[in-house]
A and B are shown apart, each in its own frame.
Chain A
Amino acid sequence: MIELLTAVFSVTFFVTVIRASTPLVFATMGGLISDLSGALNVALEGMMLIAALTSVIVSAYAPWWVGVLAGVSAGAMLGAVMALFHLRLKADIILVGFGVNILATGGTVFALSLATGGDKGTSINLPSKAIPRVNLPFLEDVPVLNLLHGHSLLSWFAVLTVVAIWYFLYRTPWGLWLRGVGEYPAAPEAAGVNVRQVRTWALVASGALSGLGGAQLAMFNYVGFTRDMTAGRGFIALGAVLLGARHPIGALFAALLFGVFEALSIVMPNLFSWIPGELIQTIPFVVTVLALILLSIRAQRALKARGVAN
């Protein structure tokens, strides 16, 4: 137990938490945007996976930032494809989303073997690049401030993104449109807002954000692509949106919470070798389910306390 506590209260653990949370934060923001626009994007998982592979392959032949941009564009394009099927061809958004996920699982393995010349599991043979780490050596020995040392550039960008999304949603006209479209589309429509356009952009943005998450995953958390490397993060992100009460700041904290559990599942196997590793890896998912159950129990209670539900 003592070992666990010392591990948890170390700077390295904090860095691990931030590293584990960053892809989740991006995916969660992606999920939030589309959820607020009225479309539940279950394809975050597949978008992240495809973006991860895209950035790995592109970064093998171009600077790291081009790799990241390629991942973002891949995500955005998937968002546009979803918009096409859902909004123009009127297909069900959940089905389209699962279509993307299935395409991602199979398609990435196929594309990986093409890109590596036959390797279906990992991209070890590809000299892909990493996102730079922001080192602040002068802070390394200052207590508390040393927590700022050694994070991915994208982690810093993630903080900026959350603030920007909050600003966008609650301080700009377009944020108002987006929320209006998600809650009661007839109202913005009667006010002359192009509802379909708003939804399209929301899906594109949602894809671009998950693309960022995918890039961080395959160019920082791990350098290189492994099949199914997203490992359910897209779904955890959907949970984080709900747990965060569909608000960017709340969702950020929810994503961080899941990051903590992921970090725990990384450090625990070394400390508790008697717990099977598989069991430890289920922790983030168990926590998601528990958190959502608790949340809905609390909501029910609140309603009952006010005498609304019988």
Chain B
Amino acid sequence: MQRVIEARGITRIYPGGTVANDGVSLVVRPGEVHAVVGENGAGKSTLMKILFGIEKPDAGDLLIDGREARFEGPRDAIDRGVGMVFQHFSLVPSFTVYENVVLGSEPRAGARFDRAAAIERVRHLSETFRLKVDPEAQTRTLPVGQQQRVEILKALYRDAKILILDEPTAVLAPQEVDELFTAIRTLTAEGRTVIFIAHKLPEVLEISDRITVMRAGKTVGEVVAAETSEPQLAAMMVGREVALRVDRSTHDGPRAVTVENLTLKADTGVTLAENLSLNVHEGEIVGLVGVEGNGQAELLEAVAGLRAVSSGDIRLKDTSLTALSVLERRHLGLSSIPEDRLAEGLAVESTTAENLVATRLDDPRFAKRGLLNLRAIRAHATALIDRFSIRVGGPEFKVGTLSGGNMQKVVVARELSEQPVVLLVNQPTRGVDLGATQFIWKSITDARDKGAAVLLSSADLSELLALSDRLVVFYHGRIVAAFRNSEALTAETLGSYMLGADRMDDGQMEAALR
């Protein structure tokens, strides 16, 4: 049997004592899509970083193409044909796409960086592998889906024979996932090998040939995708049965949030959302449906106070929010789980305890006369870590050392530690495992049942359909459809409005916009 990668007995213990990999083994065959699945913190990313030379194993052997590999750094791995797309991207924001792609291995003409050749090569690669992106665009202006393509192009530019994709689908909209899968199939058809990490099992079963399951730093087993099923995999991962079921709201409260004729503009003056009107009542979840970039995220930002309003009004009960600062809004009971936990949700260099108390520094329990009560902050953190089952060494561990899913739980724990009046949620379970998804969903619906008015946006339609009581569809910054959720409502119906193929008239929407 041929093997491109063979890892045996890989052990990695982080400083601080976390055993992230404990005698892990992994065998990957050439030309296959090999999935690695497991709960948050199971050690998948760590194993991948070892394959890519970012982390060094404390024990174990790694063979690439049958030859032993001892990587001192990513350069060595790149030279052996390994490429990796990280769970959290590594692109320089102010650089153009082509600069990011060629960084570190630039085409040269003498001592000069040959920009024309770089642009040409990137354009060629992007066409060959059908990863559409403008080589000359500035990276920071691109939506995440395209940034990911840049990452993949980066690996392909270095002629990676083995491509590691760490949770690539977590940040993608459904159509983008399909495009990614097409690209992956093009790659394997060429004889390249792809290692694929994901939490959503249907995706894993669709794209992969073989699946390695990890749990708590160990390999639990390897299965052939065609011979297994979702429940079987889930049971292997978690060690118990998991069911994702949510109860609909039963509560019917008064109106809490009113958004009236809201118009939002970008820094450049481009209109992001126009004439939005919608209401959220106490005890209900309103789902904001739409392809990324159609105004849902911007609406949430405007309600949270992170984006200035051009015209229109946002009210909580009878108070207009538009003139209030973020802090003042929070005092009125607004909570927000932002889309990008690293950029907006957390301070990664700070400890878990500090992050958990960050929004409550004016609470006399935690800060009195300008002095922090460290004991109370620690106790608060310990309680939340326990209540939200966050997997972390302790309150004093830096948030940056947590696995992606556990970082997300820190944000959720902070925002839901006290019952909010209004809860804004954007991509709550991006990169989060099954068990934690179940938990976060339950936390959100619990907040709803206690009377919170929830606005939810997600790239995952099944999540929106599972949680929302009502749904509104955004297209080009306008609301084009509105539904009361029911068994009959399907992702396909939503999809046709999301892509602009259909639109309701005001009369049709009225009932669902109440």
Contact = CB atoms under 8 A, between A and B. Distances in A.
A278 B99 CA distance: 50
Contacts of A176: 95, 99, 103, 106, 113
A187 B310 CA distance: 36
A173 B107 CA distance: 8
A36 to B, nearest CB: 11
B265 interface: yes
Contacts of A310: 305, 308, 325
B90 A189 contact: yes
B95 A180 contact: yes
Contacts of B94: 179, 183
B99 A183 contact: no
A187 B92 contact: yes
B51 to A, nearest CB: 13
Contacts of A88: none
Nearest to B154: A191
Contacts of B308: 307-308, 310
Interface in B78-133: 78, 84, 86, 90-95, 99-100, 103-106, 108, 111-113
Given A177-B104, A191-B105, A307-B265, A186 B111 contact: no
Given A191-B154, A192-B78, A173 B93 contact: no
Given A171-B112, A172-B113, A177 B103 contact: yes
A267 interface: no
A184 interface: yes
Contacts of A150: none
Contacts of B103: 176-177, 180, 187-188, 191, 193
B104 A184 contact: no
Nearest to B308: A307
B111 A187 contact: no
Of B74, B86, B325, most buried by chain A (CB within 10 Å of CB) is: B74
A275 to B, nearest CB: 45
A306 B267 contact: yes
Interface string B316-354: 000000000100000000000000000000000000000
Interface in A122-155: none
Interface of A: prevailing SS: helix
A171 B113 contact: yes
A191 B106 contact: no
Interface in B261-282: 265, 267-269
A234 B325 CA distance: 40
Contacts of B112: 171-172
Interface size class of B (residues with CB under 8 A): 20 to 34
Which of A172, A192, A307 gathers most chain B CB within 10 Å?
A192
A192 B305 contact: no
* Interface residues of chain B: helix, strand, loop or mixed (majority): loop
Contacts of B66: none
A173 B108 contact: yes
Nearest to A192: B75
Contacts of B268: 306
Contact of A184 (B54, B92, B105, B305): B92
Contacts of B78: 192
Contacts of B269: 306
B90 A184 contact: yes
Interface string B415-439: 0000000000000000000000000
A310 to B, nearest CB: 6
Interface string B240-267: 0000000000000000000000000101
A115 B31 CA distance: 72
A191 B54 CA distance: 11
Contacts of A171: 112-113
A87 B307 CA distance: 39
Contacts of A183: 92-95
B111 A172 contact: yes
A307 B310 CA distance: 8
B393 interface: no
Contacts of B86: 190
Contacts of B174: none
A175 interface: yes
Interface string B290-331: 000000000000000101101000000000000001000000
Bin the interface of chain A by size: 20 to 34
B49 to A, nearest CB: 10
B336 to A, nearest CB: 15
Contact of A188 (B93, B104, B108, B307): B104
A197 B112 CA distance: 20
A269 B29 CA distance: 81
Contacts of B106: 173, 176
Contacts of A189: 54, 74, 90
B309 to A, nearest CB: 8
B267 A173 contact: no
Contacts of A184: 90-93
Contacts of B93: 183-184
B105 A190 contact: no
Contacts of A175: 113
B92 A192 contact: no
Interface in A181-237: 183-184, 186-194
A139 to B, nearest CB: 34
B100 A187 contact: yes
B500 interface: no
Interface string B54-86: 100000000000000000011100100000101
Contacts of B113: 171-173, 175-176
Interface in A283-308: 306-308
A177 B99 CA distance: 10
Contacts of A186: 90
A170 B94 CA distance: 13
Contacts of A191: 74, 90, 103-105, 154
B267 A187 contact: no
A136 B86 CA distance: 60
Interface of A: 171-173, 175-177, 179-180, 183-184, 186-194, 306-308, 310
Given A176-B106, A307-B310, 17 more contacts: A171-B113, A172-B111, A177-B103, A179-B92, A179-B94, A183-B95, A184-B92, A184-B93, A186-B90, A188-B92, A188-B103, A189-B90, A190-B54, A190-B90, A191-B103, A306-B268, A307-B308
Nearest 10 CB-CB pairings of A with B: A191-B104, A192-B75, A307-B308, A306-B267, A173-B106, A190-B90, A187-B90, A186-B90, A184-B92, A193-B104
27 contacts: A172-B111, A172-B112, A172-B113, A173-B106, A173-B113, A176-B113, A177-B103, A177-B104, A179-B94, A183-B92, A183-B95, A184-B91, A187-B90, A187-B91, A187-B100, A187-B103, A188-B92, A190-B54, A192-B73, A192-B74, A192-B75, A192-B78, A193-B103, A306-B269, A307-B265, A307-B308, A310-B308
